Amino acid sequence: MTIMIPAWENGTLKPVEKLDAHVRGLKHKAVSVFVMNRGRVLIQRRALGKYHTPGLWANTCCTHPEWDEDPTDCAVRRLDEELGIKGLYPSHRDEIEYRADVGGGLIEHEVVQVYIADAPNDLKVVPNPDEVMETRWVDFYDLTADVARHPAQYTPWLRIYLQDHTTAIFGDLLRAV
C-alpha cells in the first residue's frame, strides 16, 4: 500500500509517497503524542518490521497526517491504530522542526505538531504488533537520564525532543508533579 504524506517539494506542499520523502529528506508534516500520567510517560518500542528505527524506543506515538487531515484528529487516530488507546484527547504543545538521519540512507525532516494527553490510572493499552513490540510507563526524569546514558536505544526524534524541547513540551506539567 502506498502512503502519501504532506511534504514540501520545491517550496510547495503536496502529497508525496512516504518512503520517497524519507529517501530524499523532504520536509514533511508529522504528529507526535506523549501520553502522561503523574510524571510518567508511556513510551513504545517500535516493531521490528518498521522500515526505519525498528526496535528503538520512542514517544507514545508518532505519525504523518493524511493529506488535509487535522493534526489533532491524526493524533487521536494514531493513538487508537498503534496502541488501541481510545477516549484521550491530546492538547497541542508546540510545533517543532527537526532533521535527523534515521539510518539506512533515510532522513526525517519533519515539521511536527507535538501533543500531550493526560491518561487515567486505568488506561487500557493494546499495542498493534505491526507497529509496536512493547510499551512501558517510565518516570520522565528516569527517561531523560536513560536517553542520555543509552542514546542508541532511542529514536533520534525522542532524543531531540528531550534534549532541545523539554520546556516547550513538558514545562508546566513537570512543575505540577
Say which residues have a Cβ less than 8 Å from residue 149's Cβ, sequence separation at least 6.
none
Question: Is 172 a residue whose pLDDT tops 80?
Answer: no
User: Is 95 annotated in the active site?
Assistant: no
Question: Is 177 a residue whose pLDDT tops 60?
Answer: no
Cα(26)–Cα(11) distance, integer angstroms: 10
Residues 74-111 pLDDT 10s: 999 999 999 999 999 999 999 999 999 999 999 999 99
State pTM to two decimals.
0.94
Residues 22-78 pLDDT 10s: 999 999 999 999 999 999 999 999 999 999 999 999 999 999 999 889 999 999 999
User: Is 17 annotated in the active site?
Assistant: no
From 17, 61, 62, 97, active-site residue: 62
Cα(44)–Cα(51) distance, integer angstroms: 16
4-175 topology per CATH: Nucleoside Triphosphate Pyrophosphohydrolase (3.90.79)
Q: Which residue has the cell 484528529?
A: 73
Q: Identify the pLDDT of residue 139.
A: 96
From 61, 74, 82, 110, active-site residue: 110
The overall average pLDDT reported for the chain is 94
- φ, ψ at 162 (rounded to 5°): -75, -35
The amino acid that residue 169 corresponds to is I
Instruction: Provide the pLDDT confidence category of residue 171 given band limits of 50, 70 and 90.
Output: confident
Question: Is 2 a residue whose pLDDT tops 80?
Answer: no
Q: Is 69 helix (H, G, I), strand (E, B) or coil?
A: coil
Q: Where are the domains of the chain?
A: 4-175
Residues 116-164 pLDDT 10s: 999 999 999 999 999 999 999 999 999 999 999 999 999 999 999 999 9
